Structure 1
Amino acid sequence: MPQDTQETKMEPGGYAFSRDGAKLYIRELLTDERLLVSPMLTVEHYDEEEEYPSSTSMVVAASELFAKAPVAAIDADIAERQATLADLNARINAARSEVYTVERDAKQQIEKLANFPKFDRLIDYLDGKITHFVVSDYQHAALIKTWDEFAVYREDGRDKGVKLLTLFGSSNGDTEWRLNDYRDGSGINRVCQPCTSEEEAKRVVGEWLGVAWKKFEPSRPWFIDGAIKSANMYGFPVPQHIRDTSAAHHFEARQRSIAKMEADLAALRARYEAEPLA
């Protein structure tokens, strides 16, 4: 329905709108039914838009002009769909914001984990990439075991799942992996290092042995026996001064053992000789 042209009085120097929504400048009222108008133009001036009337003028009927810009009538179904679309766009924007927040937080967590290399193994563990472990036991400073040998819990010859793998750490950044004997976390937890290949496991063995050589105490050479066994098993060299000190310690220990056995034998012989045969 056309707007009432008399709602706002049209006067020279004012504005009116055509049926197609064009803004017009009213130059002169020719009669009560006719007006002289010019189309309004928009230009950019110093990054701002300015309006001015065109030099072209035309005569139009007052009945064809409106004091307010016409508004297109929209079907109720279209309006409903537009509202639905607006709601969907709002949800999409909210979801994008949530994804951005999650990605930002994940990036921050990854940056934190990057300061602790052992956390990389956690991702590998979740991805099923762990194939070997380097283990410390009573006789070896570093022993390579496969996933099935070390991580799988068996009962009555059947697989019962995976043992409990735990990452221990302190506030200063020191961390170490430990694997419990049982799935429920009971039993002894053994120091270990998860690896994604046998080659990586051998590199870890070399690193562990390097630490053992640095911690070697000549006054307590027996503590290095496990490292020497692991080095001999996997073909790693043993520093000569450590091997010599260990060999001398074992030689002296054997000599003491022989001397003790000889003394015990002599005492036993003397006792038997002192006893009558019948």
Structure 2
Amino acid sequence: MANDTFEDGQRVFTSSGEEVEFAGYLNGVTFIRHVFEDYDHYSDEVTERVSEPVQYRGELFSSAPVYRLDEQYKAAAGELEKVCSELEKQQALLVEACAKTLDMEKLADEHEDFRLLVDFLEGRITHVLRVSYGLEIIELSAILSGKDSYESWPRAIGLFAVPNSSKGRYRTTQTTWQVNQYKDGSGNWSEFIPCRSLEEAHRVAQNCFDQQVQIWRDGGRPESWMWGLHNKADWVQLPDDWAAHLEAKKLGGLQDRVTKAREELQKAEADLARAAQ
């Protein structure tokens, strides 16, 4: 319909689908009034109001126009809508994940054990220090794939909570990391300490070693692996008193061997003398 066929005050539609009020047609110029809805929160009522007449350049319609779309366009539009919907879901998940990450980072800043767990999950742990049968530094990838020196099967990793009355073997902590010799967890578990680099593993191992030396200084009995660890690990720094103790023990062992060898020599000489008679 031509714009000059509508009556003043008649509700019509623009080409974009907006409902407006026809305000007149003069010298080829169309005038409309925009329609607005006002919502009253107190009375819960909706009232309409119209604007002052304004010029409108374009065709008006007695009913809302409907576009006819090509089938390929409609299919593409439908696919776009699906993608946009999925994007909104992913964005919502991302926002939620960021919030959780911030919460985790906050906890990690307050608790070292939780920091280790976050670093483990995010791949920042590179080495482990096995402490159950001595001190051995192993790459995490090797221990998980079964390429370390003990076994030939992939491992299972466990994080265990221990009672408040108990402390970690080499740390003042209430959690302990352990690795199983089999990936299904059916084998023996051995304790280890996660480390973020080889340098950190060396520092932690040296600390464990120093704690054992202190046990010896206090008159206690250190772990048996202490006696030969320096021969296996060149990163171990021996305190002077412990190094002197090892030398004295080594010298004492040599003296014992010399004494025993002399006794065996004397016995052999005596046997030889008796045989010569």
TM-score scaled by length of structure 2 = 0.50
- The structure having more radius of gyration, on CA atoms, is 1
